[in-house]
Amino acid sequence: MYKKPSLLLLSGTMVSTLALSGCGGSSGSEDLEGETVTVAVTEGDIGQFNAWEARSDEFTEETGIEVEFIGVPYNNLLDRITTEGISGEGTFDLVTYLDTMGPSVQQFLEPLDEYAAEDDYNFDRFPESSLNLSTFDDEVHSLPVRANAQLMFYRKDVFEDLGIDPPETWTELEEAGKEITENTEMSAISPYYQGGNNGQNMYMWTSYLWSNGSDIFDEDMKPVFNSEEGIEATQRYVDLLVEDEIASPGSVSFGEQDARTDFKQGNSAMWVGWWWVYSDFNLSDSSGEEVRGNVGFTTVPGWEGKGSTSNVSTFPLGMMKDSENKEAAWEFMKYISEPEFEKDMVLDALNGNSPSDQFTTNISQTQNFNDEELNEAGDDLFKVGGEAFGNAQTLPKIPEWPEVSNIISSAISDMAAGAPVEKTTNEAAAEVEQLLEEEGYYE
């Protein structure tokens, strides 16, 4: 078995003490009037965060608790949370962060299990896949209230004109791709193979990898993405560009946004990525006239006979351990994570009843995936997205993941540019194993 690095771990006694300190959300908000909760969110005019801020006035009216939102540039977010956590100043009560930052920041976050137990708050309201990204050492450290699953988006008019159905398997995707490239002037699909970019080129790759029964690590944290199934999956992924030639020629240098733009400009007929882009493709003026309002979606294709496996990315909300307003912060966490709050926020956006800067389709609650009102307004987006969350896996939760990701991401980029798949994959696996051995993972 692998040995977890001790750098970020706390003793059981310390965890219990910190979890109990400040606990008491069940005492109600009547004793908290006049307190102020500060919430760190990323800058960038994110509709969901803007909607939280706008609707926090209702929370203040109900509880007397004020809420102050503080914007932090995304590139500074990890350093800012780390600095706050080490200093113990307690500037922020609540913080949002990208899930891949979780292994690094969880030591600064208050475990929420005792709060939930006292208030009969059920974490099962969230899909297992997204809640997993908020869980460390069997304790929940944040709420995955902003979550995205992968879907496959496609041009409905192109598929209808050619008489082809949305692909359910990678074989069907390849066959559809050949039909598209032979009968139109479009590329079939816009992947994104460029290295870097926080490992963006790994998300579609892992859907190939997982659906073929392989994984990144085994139970002993030994790399296995270079197994027979892993190499087969990787070869198939890069062959969209290298061998089959159905991918956009520019995809070798595309990041996610570049590939999305390529699709929005009408240059390709399929795109795999996060479900939030549904509204961007169908409602935004940035999409071409022939694209806007003409994009369908389905679950990510899977390996023949083995099923589909999506990826999940979350931007959860956590409570800082050094917060001096933990009870008030917990009250606000409960408020914005109620299914009805989320449903109303998204319905108002879809029905045009909220300002454009508060537009969001981000649903994270299991019970809302099959809600009739939401799916009628969103063309069954949430039902299909719920299926994707249900069959999803997640990236490893280890502090070394950024370094591991860089190694694999760089290898994918090299293979898309023509490097031999088996040799390059084996070299990447050896480099990852050496990194983890140096970090003390193997006895």
Q: Tens of pLDDT along 193-227?
A: 999 878 899 999 999 999 999 999 999 999 999 99
Spatial distance between the Cα atoms of 313 and 299, rounded to a whole number of angstroms: 15
User: Model's pTM, two decimal places?
Assistant: 0.88
Average pLDDT, integer, range 127-139? 96
Identify the pLDDT of residue 3.
39
> Cα separations (Å) of 295 from 155, 156, 162, 182, 249?
5, 6, 15, 21, 22
Q: Residues 148, 313: contact at Cβ < 8 Å? A: yes
Q: Residues 292, 281: contact at Cβ < 8 Å? A: yes
Identify the pLDDT of residue 320.
97
pLDDT-based confidence at 229, cuts 50/70/90? very high
Q: Whose structure tokens read 């969350």?
A: 389
Reply yes or no on whether the pLDDT at 65 is more than 90.
yes
pLDDT-based confidence at 2, cuts 50/70/90? very low
Question: How many CA atoms lie less than 13 Å away from 306 in the CB half-sphere?
Answer: 17
Spatial distance between the Cα atoms of 84 and 91, rounded to a whole number of angstroms: 7
Q: What kind and span of H or E run contains 245?
A: none
Reply yes or no on whether the pLDDT at 13 is more than 50.
no
Spatial distance between the Cα atoms of 83 and 220, rounded to a whole number of angstroms: 32
Spatial distance between the Cα atoms of 343 and 371, rounded to a whole number of angstroms: 9
Q: Residues 300, 387: contact at Cβ < 8 Å? A: no
Closest to 431 in 3D by CA, of 177, 225, 191: 225
Average pLDDT, integer, range 327-336? 97
Reply yes or no on whether the pLDDT at 23 is more than 90.
no
pLDDT-based confidence at 30, cuts 50/70/90? low
Identify the pLDDT of residue 11.
32
> Cα separations (Å) of 362 from 146, 219, 275, 296, 318?
6, 33, 9, 17, 18
Q: How many residues does the chain have?
A: 443
Identify the pLDDT of residue 28.
53
Spatial distance between the Cα atoms of 116 and 140, rounded to a whole number of angstroms: 10
Spatial distance between the Cα atoms of 77 and 83, rounded to a whole number of angstroms: 10
Reply yes or no on whether the pLDDT at 393 is more than 80.
yes
Supply the mean pLDDT for the chain: 91
Q: What is the pLDDT of residues 258-275, one digit of tens each?
A: 999 999 999 999 999 999
Spatial distance between the Cα atoms of 417 and 72, rounded to a whole number of angstroms: 36
Q: Whose structure tokens read 């799916």?
A: 375
Q: Residues 369, 363: contact at Cβ < 8 Å? A: yes
Average pLDDT, integer, range 270-292? 92
Identify the pLDDT of residue 22.
38
Q: What kind and span of H or E run contains 355?
A: none
Identify the pLDDT of residue 285.
86
pLDDT-based confidence at 89, cuts 50/70/90? confident
Reply yes or no on whether the pLDDT at 12 is more than 50.
no
Percent of the chain with pLDDT over 70: 93
Reply yes or no on whether the pLDDT at 7 is more than 60.
no
Average pLDDT, integer, range 138-156? 97
